[in-house]
Amino acid sequence: MAEGNKMTIVERVNKVFLEVLAKIPSKEYSVPSSVEEIDPDADIMEDYYFDAADWMELILALEEEFVKIIFDHDYSRLNTVRDFHNYFEDMG
């Protein structure tokens, strides 16, 4: 965790991603059990087998975590966990 127990954007995105991933019934992949096991460059839909409902759950959970809206027109550029890291870092 970041200095002073304040989580970084990357840590917060990874935490939310793991929480949402844990709620999805196990499919044909090994679910990461820690943030260290998350591949930030893996395609969320293809590599983690998210369907549209899973992806929207992730969007809503991240919006709640960051108290920010992810605009519909930005959805197409959010394909990996790293994309979400960068998105929230750019938002400030």
Structure tokens at 46: 């293809």
pLDDT at 1 over 70: no
Domain residue ranges of the chain, discontinuous segments joined by +: 3-36+43-91
In this prediction, residue 10 carries a pLDDT of 94
Helix (H, G, I), strand (E, B) or coil at 80: strand
Min mean pLDDT across 15-24, 59-68, 69-78, 80-89 is at 15-24
Q: Which of 37, 36, 42, 44 is nearest to 62 (CA)?
A: 44
What tens digit of pLDDT does each residue of 26-79 get? 656 667 888 888 999 999 998 888 899 999 999 999 999 999 999 999 999 999
Backbone angles phi, psi at 12, to 5 degrees: -65, -45
Tokens of 53: 């409902």
Whole-prediction pTM: 0.85
Please name the fold of domain 3-36+43-91.
1.10.1200
Residue 27 pLDDT: 59
Residue closest to 71 by CA, chosen among 59, 81, 83: 59
| Residue 88 confidence (pLDDT) | 95
The whole-number pLDDT of residue 69 equals 95
